Structure 1
Amino acid sequence: MNRGLIIFIAAVLLGAGTYFGTRQFLKRCDCMTADEVPVENGSLLPELQWLRRSFHLTEAQFGKVQALHLAYQPRCADLCMKIQHSDHELMMAAASSRTVTEDVSKLLQTRARLTQECQQAMLQHVYETAACMTPEQAERYLTIVLPHVLGPAHASH
């Protein structure tokens, strides 16, 4: 009986170890999907409230900005998902090598292309949003938002 219990416990531990080890080894990218857009209190647009308040947008302006934002969200989510997937693939390839392989180089190029595509799409969205505002509002909006779109190197300008 004692021997049977030891074999049973060993089998359970081996099975659990195999399960969790295989799960970790085969872990897929935990990328956000396009349908996982943030929602707050049933609204897809909580991030626009600061814009409405800070720039004193009229109802007409805010309606245009909302429409642009809703139209852009699927594109943004899709690009984010692609970048996350690219990051995962790059990390896996880089971790399995101790040199810059052709595969790692191609994955770096893909990551750079996706980042540029995302940044360009975001910049276009920001310009379209600014076009819904008065010139004064747009200038202030671009001054605040462009450094975030263009990255840390531009934050001091």
Structure 2
Amino acid sequence: MKIREKLFFMALAVILLAYTAHEVVIHLRPVPPSPRQIGLEWLRAEYDIPQEAYEKIAALHQDYFVRCDEMCATMERAHRPLIQRSRTPQSKETPSAALKREKAVCENCLENMVQHLKNVAALMPSVQGERFLKDILPEVINPPELQKLRSQVTPLQ
């Protein structure tokens, strides 16, 4: 075998070894926690939730996030004049009606979120549940997006 062939096979062996090592490391490393898992762990630590209640809250969160994903898809499909141009320029819907529809979708999402938070608080020890609602509800009740919609939609007379 000539020196070029030996160098070629050595280079090929090094490349294959590096690729194999890369794949082994990728498959054996721990999977980082998702933002939802991080949030649940924070909730457990911050509010000192007992294991039994934590498991119920985790199950409740799982169900809620399925509904949440559905609501997000509904919001994405909605005509959202404040965020994106209409996909159908010949739409017969007036801007005011589109804003009202978008406001209704956002308010429905908000109502579902508030109810979910109240359900979570009900599973916590009462003092911790009250503190949780006191800490969290002000952050979610008046999101800037909904405040903007409320200021642009005039009430019906």
Q: TM-score with structure 2 length normalisation?
A: 0.61
Aligned with residue 71 of structure 2, among 79, 85, 92? 79
Asked if 1:124 is matched to 2:115, the reply is yes
Match of 2:152 in 1: none
Q: 1:72 touches 1:125 (CA, 8 Å); kept in 2?
A: yes
Report SS of the residue matched to 2:85.
helix
Match of 2:58 in 1: 66
Question: Once the 2 structures are TM-superposed, how far is the Cα of residue 133 of structure 1 from its aligned partner?
Answer: 0.8
Match of 1:49 in 2: 41
Which runs of 5 or more residues in structure 1 are unaligned?
1-38
Over the matched positions of the two proteins, sequence identity in percent amounts to 29
Runs of 4+ in 1 over 6 A off after TM superposition: none
Match of 1:115 in 2: 106
Q: 2:75 touches 2:105 (CA, 8 Å); kept in 1?
A: yes
Q: 1:40 touches 1:46 (CA, 8 Å); kept in 2?
A: no
Asked if 1:135 is matched to 2:126, the reply is yes
Q: 2:49 touches 2:125 (CA, 8 Å); kept in 1?
A: no
Q: 2:81 touches 2:99 (CA, 8 Å); kept in 1?
A: no
Q: 1:86 touches 1:111 (CA, 8 Å); kept in 2?
A: yes
Q: 1:119 touches 1:150 (CA, 8 Å); kept in 2?
A: yes
Asked if 1:92 is matched to 2:113, the reply is no
Q: Residue type of the partner of 1:82?
A: T
Q: 2:80 touches 2:102 (CA, 8 Å); kept in 1?
A: no
Say how many residue pairs are matched: 111
Q: TM-score with structure 1 length normalisation?
A: 0.61
Q: Based on CA coordinates, which of the two structures has the bigger radius of gyration?
A: 2
RMSD: 2.8
Q: Distance in 1 between matches of 2:134 and 2:76?
A: 28
Question: Once the 2 structures are TM-superposed, how far is the Cα of residue 40 of structure 1 from its aligned partner?
Answer: 4.7
TM-aligned CA distance change 1:151 to 1:43, over 3 Å: closer
Asked if 1:149 is matched to 2:140, the reply is yes
Which runs of 5 or more residues in structure 2 are unaligned?
1-30, 145-157
